[in-house]
Amino acid sequence: MLKHLNDAPVLSVTPCQLDAKVFNTLRLATLRLKTPIRLMLPGLRAMDIVIDHRLWVVVDRALDDLPIVAWDQFDNRNAIHSPVACRMRCFHFHAATIATKALLLAQELVSRQMEHAHHDEATA
Protein backbone atom coordinates (compact mmCIF):
# COMPACT_ATOMS: atom_id res chain seq x y z
CA MET A 1 0.00 0.00 0.00
CA LEU A 2 2.67 2.51 1.01
CA LYS A 3 6.27 2.04 0.03
CA HIS A 4 7.84 3.26 3.30
CA LEU A 5 5.58 1.52 5.80
CA ASN A 6 7.67 -1.61 6.25
CA ASP A 7 10.99 0.24 6.03
CA ALA A 8 10.30 3.04 8.52
CA PRO A 9 11.52 2.55 12.09
CA VAL A 10 8.68 2.10 14.55
CA LEU A 11 8.99 4.11 17.77
CA SER A 12 6.18 2.32 19.57
CA VAL A 13 3.50 -0.29 19.07
CA THR A 14 0.52 -0.15 21.39
CA PRO A 15 -2.92 -1.71 21.59
CA CYS A 16 -5.64 0.91 21.38
CA GLN A 17 -9.40 1.33 21.24
CA LEU A 18 -11.06 3.20 18.41
CA ASP A 19 -14.30 5.05 19.04
CA ALA A 20 -17.17 3.08 17.49
CA LYS A 21 -18.51 6.04 15.53
CA VAL A 22 -15.13 6.82 13.97
CA PHE A 23 -14.47 3.17 13.15
CA ASN A 24 -17.94 2.61 11.70
CA THR A 25 -17.72 5.68 9.46
CA LEU A 26 -14.28 4.83 8.12
CA ARG A 27 -15.11 1.14 7.66
CA LEU A 28 -18.31 2.02 5.82
CA ALA A 29 -16.33 4.35 3.58
CA THR A 30 -14.05 1.47 2.57
CA LEU A 31 -17.15 -0.44 1.47
CA ARG A 32 -18.81 2.43 -0.41
CA LEU A 33 -15.91 4.39 -1.89
CA LYS A 34 -13.03 3.32 -4.08
CA THR A 35 -10.08 2.16 -1.96
CA PRO A 36 -7.53 3.10 -0.95
CA ILE A 37 -9.09 6.37 0.15
CA ARG A 38 -6.56 9.20 0.40
CA LEU A 39 -7.52 12.43 2.15
CA MET A 40 -5.62 15.64 2.82
CA LEU A 41 -5.97 16.52 6.51
CA PRO A 42 -6.68 20.25 6.88
CA GLY A 43 -4.92 21.74 9.87
CA LEU A 44 -2.21 19.06 9.83
CA ARG A 45 0.38 20.53 7.50
CA ALA A 46 1.40 18.21 4.64
CA MET A 47 -0.36 15.22 6.19
CA ASP A 48 -2.73 12.82 4.46
CA ILE A 49 -4.53 9.74 5.70
CA VAL A 50 -4.73 6.64 3.54
CA ILE A 51 -7.57 4.29 4.44
CA ASP A 52 -7.95 0.73 3.22
CA HIS A 53 -9.84 -2.30 4.51
CA ARG A 54 -7.04 -3.56 6.75
CA LEU A 55 -4.81 -0.54 7.35
CA TRP A 56 -5.15 3.19 8.03
CA VAL A 57 -1.99 5.32 7.80
CA VAL A 58 -1.25 9.01 8.32
CA VAL A 59 1.62 10.02 6.05
CA ASP A 60 3.71 13.13 5.52
CA ARG A 61 3.38 13.90 1.80
CA ALA A 62 6.21 16.48 2.04
CA LEU A 63 8.56 13.64 3.01
CA ASP A 64 7.56 11.24 0.22
CA ASP A 65 4.73 9.67 2.26
CA LEU A 66 6.80 8.84 5.30
CA PRO A 67 4.41 7.19 7.80
CA ILE A 68 3.53 9.06 10.98
CA VAL A 69 1.03 6.69 12.61
CA ALA A 70 -0.77 3.54 11.45
CA TRP A 71 -3.68 1.44 12.71
CA ASP A 72 -4.20 -2.19 11.81
CA GLN A 73 -5.22 -5.57 13.27
CA PHE A 74 -8.79 -4.40 13.82
CA ASP A 75 -10.66 -6.84 16.07
CA ASN A 76 -14.12 -8.15 15.44
CA ARG A 77 -16.73 -7.05 17.91
CA ASN A 78 -20.15 -8.14 19.06
CA ALA A 79 -21.99 -4.81 18.92
CA ILE A 80 -21.82 -1.88 16.51
CA HIS A 81 -21.71 0.63 19.39
CA SER A 82 -18.66 -0.99 21.02
CA PRO A 83 -15.16 0.44 20.64
CA VAL A 84 -12.87 -1.51 18.34
CA ALA A 85 -9.54 -2.83 19.56
CA CYS A 86 -6.61 -2.51 17.19
CA ARG A 87 -2.87 -1.93 17.05
CA MET A 88 -1.38 1.55 16.70
CA ARG A 89 2.15 1.91 15.37
CA CYS A 90 3.86 5.26 15.91
CA PHE A 91 6.63 6.30 13.54
CA HIS A 92 7.01 9.89 14.76
CA PHE A 93 7.61 11.49 18.13
CA HIS A 94 4.25 13.35 18.01
CA ALA A 95 2.24 10.51 16.43
CA ALA A 96 -0.04 9.95 19.42
CA THR A 97 -0.96 13.65 19.45
CA ILE A 98 -1.65 13.68 15.72
CA ALA A 99 -3.61 10.40 15.77
CA THR A 100 -6.80 11.61 17.44
CA LYS A 101 -7.11 14.74 15.32
CA ALA A 102 -6.37 12.77 12.14
CA LEU A 103 -9.10 10.22 12.84
CA LEU A 104 -11.71 12.88 13.63
CA LEU A 105 -10.84 14.83 10.47
CA ALA A 106 -10.95 11.63 8.39
CA GLN A 107 -14.37 10.76 9.82
CA GLU A 108 -15.71 14.20 8.89
CA LEU A 109 -14.19 14.13 5.40
CA VAL A 110 -15.38 10.64 4.43
CA SER A 111 -18.85 11.42 5.79
CA ARG A 112 -19.02 14.34 3.35
CA GLN A 113 -17.70 12.19 0.50
CA MET A 114 -20.32 9.52 1.15
CA GLU A 115 -23.08 12.17 1.31
CA HIS A 116 -21.97 13.56 -2.06
CA ALA A 117 -21.76 10.07 -3.57
CA HIS A 118 -25.24 9.25 -2.25
CA HIS A 119 -26.62 12.56 -3.56
CA ASP A 120 -25.04 11.97 -6.99
CA GLU A 121 -26.56 8.46 -7.15
CA ALA A 122 -29.99 9.77 -6.14
CA THR A 123 -29.99 12.46 -8.83
CA ALA A 124 -28.65 10.20 -11.62
**Model pLDDT for residues 63-98, shown as the tens digit of each residue:** 999 999 999 999 988 889 999 999 999 999 999 899
- Residue at 5 is within a domain: no
In a domain, 6, yes or no: no
pLDDT digits (tens, 9 = 90+) for 14-70: 999 999 999 999 999 999 999 999 999 999 999 999 999 999 999 999 999 999 999
Number of domains within the chain: 1
> In this structure, is residue 84 part of a structural domain?
yes
In sign, the C-alpha dihedral spanning 100, 113, 25, 91 is: negative
| Residue ranges making up the domain that contains 35 | 12-123
Q: What's the pLDDT at 4?
A: 72
In a domain, 71, yes or no: yes
Q: Identify whether the C-beta of residue 58 lies closer than 8 Å to the C-beta of residue 67.
A: yes
